[in-house]
Structure 1
Amino acid sequence: MNSTATKHRIVVVGGGAGGLELATRLGDTLGRRGRAEITLIDKNRTHVWKPKLHEIAAGSMDLSAHEVDYLAQAHWHHFRFRIGEMIALDRQRREVRVAPYRDAEGREVTPDRVFGYDTLVLALGSQSNDFGTPGVGEHALKLESKADAQRFHARMVNACIRAHAQGTPLRPEQLHVAIIGAGATGVELAAELHRTTREVVAFGLDRVDADKDIQVNLIEAADRVLPALPPRMSQATEDLLRKLGVLVHTSAKVAAVRADGVQLADGRVLPAELVVWAAGVKAADFLKDLAGLETNRSNQLLVKPSLQTTRDDDIFVIGDCAACAWPEANGGKGGFVPPRAQAAHQQASHVAAQIKRRLANKPMKAYRYRDFGSLVSLGEFSTVGNMMGGLIGGSLMIEGAFARLMYVSLYKMHELALHGFPKMALDTLARLITRRTEPHVKLH
């Protein structure tokens, strides 16, 4: 790039759905024309759409066919990528500090660095909230990153191979999975596991009886699965899960996670070799003490209607780490924009427009969240959802092929924002062809 002395410096921290879409959009407009220098910072080398993590964990999606290389994306779309994890912010000097990046062997790849900015966008996403439940850190897996999903999948496949190879009867917890949290992630993972575990066993592991030995438990503290969604949608989902053989436990609070299973508050113990924590959402802990910016109890940064932070107009926040008011929520009682991919997509588009207005010295416009409903994939069995949720009260429920098409379209919209139509179409075609020549489940 040319000298940056007169260019507006835009730094985007976090390469998730919102952050990467924003950096790409800004690069294709401001970066390409030399009007600004855009830098994306993320602690990973590649991006994967977070709603796909349950498919990676279950083995129904090949990660290599869907991950986006940050360096390549930056090169093609006129922005810079710098690897590292943000650890501090100096608002007076307008600088972001990034920790040294180390490889798998612990060797330093990049040193401690500082990046200056004129406009900063924080898109740091969210993480699971275990509410201090004993044993979660030691014995439970989470699905917060592609590494988490790959770790779960490897353990699942190894568990099946181990059960096949051993000559003694299975332990009570062996080949049992406990998923804590029946939100979208927990429900989708339960449905995917029902199919993929049986496909893994079908590849020669004939000493394992899938129907008898493999058991998936779905645990939810609320009185129904998908508690944030309409009751009709919850009931349809629970009915299908039970038909698949998933054991659904509602009104079940977890007291502790043990090495051999999950202990409930009522004293029951559910044996499980693999435990996944998929309950609760919060922003990263370090945000609550970040340079005096205002946060809520979930560590989300409070923002104005423009998505600028309440205490610094040079900083925008998008995605799951933003506490953005939504007056229409809860039947007009008000609330916050939910942590969904559609919200991150909308906010990325809004902030891209506001940064252009900022460069032109025009006033900011307010962001308004548009709720297009919710969709939950139950693998190849079904998809359920409600269209235009917040606009018509969530009364239009959809199921089956049409709902599945809408679910797939959400991911295609994300790919379209990152790559444009030609590459999105070619990538889709290539995956369809490859799927006909390979197992439909990842076996390693």
Structure 2
Amino acid sequence: MTETTRQPCDLLIEAGWVVPVNPHGVVLVDHAVVVSGDRIVALLPLAEARERFAPAQTVSRPDSVLIPGLVNGHTHNPMTLMRGVADDLSLMPWLHEHVWPIEGAVMSPEFVADGVELAVAEMLRGGTTCCNESYFFPDAQAATYRRLGFRARVGLPVIEFPSAWAASTAEYFDKGLEVYDNYRSDPLVSLSFAPHAPYTVSDESFERIRMLAEQLDLPVHVHVHETAQEIADSLKQYGQRPIARLDRLGVVNERLIAVHMTQLIDAEIALCAERGVSVLHCPQSNLKLASGFSPVEKLRRAGVNLGLGTDGCASNNDLDMFDEMRTAALLAKGVAMDATALDAASALRIATLGSAKALGLDEHIGSIEVGKQADLTLIAMDALETQPMYNAISHLVYATGRHQVSDVWIAGQRKLADRELVGIDVDALRAKTRQWQQRIAAIGNKP
């Protein structure tokens, strides 16, 4: 084929290995992904790609693995500015004695925007291209994600006590719907309802959320069955376990993104499978807060869609999805007492396509397929720590560190190039972070 008959494209990414995630467990050797605009237009053997396409730019990484961008299925990214303020505590003392008092003192659009920018920088350097967000000031979140060109589903918060964002339940709904109107057609920023948890949201609010979610076609992103105390308190107050209460209110359906789910009985697992609920697993946060163990393998074998998230940096304390995959795979084996539980390919899947499906974005991201958005991550495998390599997927889950991520694209736009962030002023970001550190430390909550 002559130069004049080769098809023009914007980008050709050549990799020693491509892991498309769908089909499941497949590794393609010496393949290339072709990108035009924001979309993948071809995935084919390297020699054929070079013959058929004339790219404006070529990135050749023969010692690297190309995967779909990782999808952080649950996080509170402004809390990146609270990394390490209250360690080694259980959930309720952590919230009531540390997190909520600090938030009461510093919560503002500026705090949220700066925390999101710090989180985006960390996520990009770790190969993450999309996140599912739950925090206050969703307007400031959305504006920052849009400015940085980062894909996010931003939660519209609902909680039954006042905050710097809203003074009443009615105001949470009114302001949230205004944010929805402003971003309903944004190509990168989408919305969800994000009621905090069953123990902080009333029946009336959940019923209104159910109605609006149906009308606006939005997911409902909520912490559910996170601790044994939550179950006991719900039984005392409502005479029902939280998931049963949510089912009574009409919330348990294919829109529900149920986060944590460490306290489950078999009937609840079957209910989630029947209703199409997605469960977002946050193993490191659950371990750190001693909240319990999600029965991930039982959920997976029942057919429940699983996603993976880091939770926020105040309870993790990082946004490292590679480390989260490894923890998820290892913990699942220990909980199930089965070495075959959550194998490497399945761990990678929940960190990509599973999270994307939970967010309702699986038609656009989560796998390397023709027609999907070009959200892509390259990982260098030539380090001594990942030598020798017999199985690329095994290494991604059990041996790779996020420092090996070299290049990242979102919607075809390069966001990380040879480990250098594109479009983020690192020195300015570091300076802003230090200012917040000084202010938060002065509150007196940091040990």
For the criterion TM > 0.5, the same-fold answer is no
Structure number with higher helix proportion: 2
The structure that has the greater radius of gyration is: 1
Pick 1 or 2: higher relative contact order, CA cutoff 8 A, min separation 6: 2
TM value normalised by structure 1: 0.27
TM value normalised by structure 2: 0.26
